[in-house]
Amino acid sequence: MARMAAVRVAVIGSGPAGLYSAEALVKQTDGEARVDVFDRLPTPYGLVRYGVAPDHTSIKAIAKYLQKVLEHPDVRFLGGVELGRDVTRDDLLGCYDAVIYATGAMVDRRLGVPGEDLPGSVAATDFVNWYCGHPDAAAHAFDLSVEEVAVIGVGNVAVDVVRILAKTPAELHATDMPEQVIAALEASRVRRVHMIGRRGPAQAKFTTKELRELGSLDGVHVHVQPGDMELDAASRALADADRHVRGNVKVMDGWTTVPDGTRPRRIDVRFWRAPVEIEGTSSVTGLKLERTAPDADGRVRGTGEFETLPVGMVLRSVGYKSVPLAGLPFDERAHVVPNDGGRVAGRPREYVAGWIKRGPTGVVGTNKSDAAETVRHLLEDVRPGTAPGAVEDLLEARALPVVTYADWLNLDAAEVALARSLSRGERVKLAHWEAMRNACRPG
């Protein structure tokens, strides 16, 4: 491809998908791109900061790589600016040659069962946001005075939630959890956590590494009923064909031993059960489950056999979904913006990357190749100089308190200093909006 004049691109979202898109733009144009990365939060890194579990420091270290993208001279961070509230699609298309939407998929899917809206019935996304220090969740309160909790779902997010509930506060002391979260976990009375899947162990979505970590928690007995580990023909074929499934099954087979009553906390992994009702009047008092089984076509059916768990909180972790963006087409079934390799259907100069492009699949690194594909198609289409406007004029005219990368570094330094003062790891997050804004512009 011939060297092109500088192209101006707005990227909406500063998580991995957005920042990998910015990186691909400067690399694929040999630096002949000017990229502004917008985020409604005053902090970059998206799910790396607010979705990866605080005790998974090796994964969170990806932020150090993404930081280099933000430090590129042709990339700017414009935090505290929300699409739809502060700027519109038309505003952006008037100021940039192209726009990439990388807004993720952070709304939880619902169960659709009676009692789902009772106090104590909670989306796992809200709980994750709370313990990860997201400012939208800073004021949330979760009743951890109950002794038993159910987590519905058998993916890595569910495993993260179960692990955080089962760990002692001392084990979490060196993480970046906000102080109020650590205090709440110190007061927790949760002693038993049920993790529930409507299908069998071969169909579970967690990784073997996550499972091993769950089984190695100090003072915790992890148990699976032996009958739940019996594999039907389809499950056995899946295990034979996939080493990850085989690894999961092997780990969980080791959890079928009789529970050790001397350990203070217990995790029960329960397969072939579907929630049918969350019980209670003013708050959750139980979770009614129906035993399930595979039919001849491999689908899951109810068996008419029921049981009720005496839980005081239910956390649903049955998947994420994206939300529509005003003015863009949206597939209500797949919960993505219809696109062809990142090109938004019927919308010239508009593109998508990440989960809003492909759905909530893959790991953090998947976003790199995904973003590269979107950017490759953008550069095939784009014509520099298409948009006459200057975003600086627009932001100034609206008196928007834009958070720059330098402002974010002030907040970053404040969190590092707080951790040092508390003797707590590398950083302790500031989670309240006002505290974050004040740290961005000290003095």
Please work out, in degrees rounded to the nearest 5, the angle formed at the alpha carbon of residue 126 by the alpha carbons of 116 and 18.
130
Cα 340 from chain centre: 24
Rounded to the nearest integer, the mean pLDDT of the chain is 93
- Segment 11-40 shows an average pLDDT of 95
Q: Is the pLDDT of residue 1 over 50?
A: no
Q: Is the pLDDT of residue 71 over 60?
A: yes
Token digits for 105?
């998929």
Q: Do 7-105+322-403 and 109-317 come out as alike in CATH topology?
A: no
Q: Is the pLDDT of residue 443 over 90?
A: no
Mention every residue, 6+ apart, whose C-beta is less than 8 A from residue 171.
55, 218
**Residue 279 vs residues 109, 123, 284: alpha-carbon distances, Å:** 20, 16, 6
What pLDDT is stored for residue 353 in this prediction? 96
Mention every residue, 6+ apart, whose C-beta is less than 8 A from residue 439.
410, 411, 414, 415, 430
pLDDT in tens, 188-211: 999 999 999 999 999 998 889 999
Q: Which residue has the tokens 């979260």?
A: 181
Cross-sheet strand order for the sheet of 350-352: 75-79, 33-39, 7-12, 98-101, 350-352, 343-344, 339-340
What pLDDT is stored for residue 289 in this prediction? 98
- The CATH number of 109-317, from 3.40.640.10, 3.40.50.300, 1.10.3720.10, 3.50.50.60, is 3.50.50.60
CA–CA dist 256, 347 (Å, integer): 54
- Winning range, highest mean pLDDT, from 26-35, 131-140, 408-417: 408-417
Q: Is the pLDDT of residue 306 over 90?
A: yes
Please work out, in degrees rounded to the nearest 5, the angle formed at the alpha carbon of residue 316 by the alpha carbons of 315 and 321.
140
User: Could you tell me the residue ranges of all domains in the chain?
Assistant: 7-105+322-403, 109-317
Closest residue by Cα to residue 66 from 430, 351, 412? 412
What pLDDT is stored for residue 426 in this prediction? 93
pLDDT category of residue 58 using cuts at 50, 70 and 90 = confident
Q: Is the pLDDT of residue 4 over 60?
A: no
Between helix 179-186 and helix 124-131 the angle, nearest 10°, is 110
DSSP 110: P
- Segment 348-365 shows an average pLDDT of 90
Please answer whether residues 156 and 207 qualify as being in contact, where contact means their C-beta atoms are separated by less than 8 angstroms.
yes
pLDDT in tens, 196-254: 999 999 999 888 999 999 999 999 999 999 999 999 888 999 999 999 999 999 999 99
What pLDDT is stored for residue 31 in this prediction? 82
- Segment 144-166 shows an average pLDDT of 95
pTM: 0.92
Please answer whether residues 151 and 214 qualify as being in contact, where contact means their C-beta atoms are separated by less than 8 angstroms.
no
- The CATH number of 7-105+322-403, from 3.90.320.10, 1.10.150.20, 3.40.640.10, 3.40.50.720, is 3.40.50.720
